[in-house]
Amino acid sequence: MATDGLEPIGVSLQANARGGADVAVGDTALSQIENPATLGLLDRRFDFCGQLGIPIATWRGPLETAESHRQLIGLANVGLAWPLDDRWTFGLAVHSKAGLGTAYRMRHLMIPWMDRDVGADMKCIGLHANTSYRVSERLLVGGGLRLDIAQAQFSTVLGPADLEFGEGRAIGGGFQLGALYKLREDLTFGLAYRSPTWAGDLQGGQGKASLFGVLPVPLGDVRIVDFSLPQRIAAGLAWDVDPRLKLVGEVRWLNYANSVLDVTTIQTDGWINVRYPLPLGYRDQWAFILGAEYRLDEHWVVAAGYHYATPPVPRENLLPMGSTISEHHITAGLRYERDNWWVGLGYVLGLPTTLRGTGYSRIPLGVDYGLSEIEQTQHIIGLGFGFSW
C-alpha cells in the first residue's frame, strides 16, 4: 500500500511533490506528522491530502505467473494547526500511516492441482496530538503523542500446507519529538524522532489451515504476538535560494529490524496451540530525498523531487504477502495558492523494480518462494487542499 518500504513517502501534497521531504519545511498542518516543531510556523489552518495508489505487481512462480488483483488503494491525511499565543501552537492530525496490500491467485509446487489465493491486507491509521514551542526567533521545538490502530489479515501457502489468518486488530501508541532551527535567514535545519508503535498482540481473527488443499481445519483464535511498528529518525535542510526557488534535502532511517516486520510470530489458541515464526525479514532502511519548488507567478507553484529508499526485503525472504520493494521514485506536483487557501495535484512514480529469490527461502516450507520473483511498479495520484483563517 505504499512506495517507501511500508510507509508512503510523504504526508502532504506539497511533501509528495518534492520527493517526500517535509521535516525542515513545515508548510501545512500535516507537517506536524513528520516534525511537530513545524506547527510554530503556521497560523490557524486545516489541510487535507488524499492519495490513490495504483500498485502493479507481477509474481512469477515456478509454475505460473500471476498479477496482483489489488489495484486501487486509497490513503488520506487531515491536519489542524491552532496557535494558542505567540509561543505555543497546538495541532491534531489523522494519518494513513502504513500498510501492505497484495492479492494473487496461483498454483504452487506441492499443490499443483489447484489455484490458491495468497496475499495480505494490512492498514494502520495514526491519530496525532502535537504541540510546538518557540524558544527564540531561530529555534522551535515540538512533541506529541500518537495512537495507532492496525488491522491485518493474510493467506499464504507453506509447502504442502496453506494458512489463513482472519482479520485481527491491534491498538498501540508512541510519541514524536522535533526541532527546527534557522541557521540563517534563507537556510533551515529540521530534526525529528518518531518512537516505535508499542502495542499488544494483534488479535481477534480466526485461523484455518489445510494440507494439500483439502480438509481445512479450524485453528480457533489466531494472533500476531507483540505487534510493533518501526521507529524513525529524519533530518533535513530547506534553502530559499531566492523568492521563487526553494531546494530541500532529507535523510531518513527506519528501524524495521526491531519491529514485527522482521520476524512475525503467529500463535493459535484453539484445540491445536501452535507458535509459528514467519520471517518477513524487513531490514533497517535508509531514504535519501532531493526536491525543489519553483514559484511561476504570484499564485502557481510547481515542484519535483527524487526519492531513493534502500531495499527493505532481502531476496531470501521473498514472500507474496509482504514484499514492498520500490527503490527509485520520481515525483511532481502543481498547486494554486491564494492568500488563505490552496489546491493542488501531485504524482509519484515508483520505478519498476524486480526482486528474485535466491533458490532457497528463509520462510519455513517456503519452497516456491526461493524459486520466484516479483516485479513492482507504483503510481500514486494525489489531491490536496487547505485553508487558513
Domain boundaries, the chain: 13-388
CB 177 within 8 A of CB 193: yes
> Which residues of the chain have a pLDDT value below 50?
1-3
Distances (CA, A) of 202 to 145, 156, 254, 260, 265: 21, 18, 21, 10, 11
For cell 519545511, name the residue. Answer: 25
Phi then psi for residue 79, to 5 deg, are -145, 150
Q: Which DSSP symbol is given to 281?
A: -
CATH number attached to the domain at 13-388: 2.40.160.60
Q: What is the pLDDT of residues 262-306, one digit of tens each?
A: 988 999 987 778 888 888 899 999 999 999 999 999 999 999 999
Which residue, 123, 122, 124, 126, is CA-closest to 79?
126
pTM for the predicted model, two decimal places: 0.93
Distances (CA, A) of 196 to 199, 228, 230: 9, 7, 5
pLDDT score of 323: 67
pLDDT score of 41: 97
Q: What is the pLDDT of residues 32-44, one digit of tens each?
A: 999 999 999 999 9
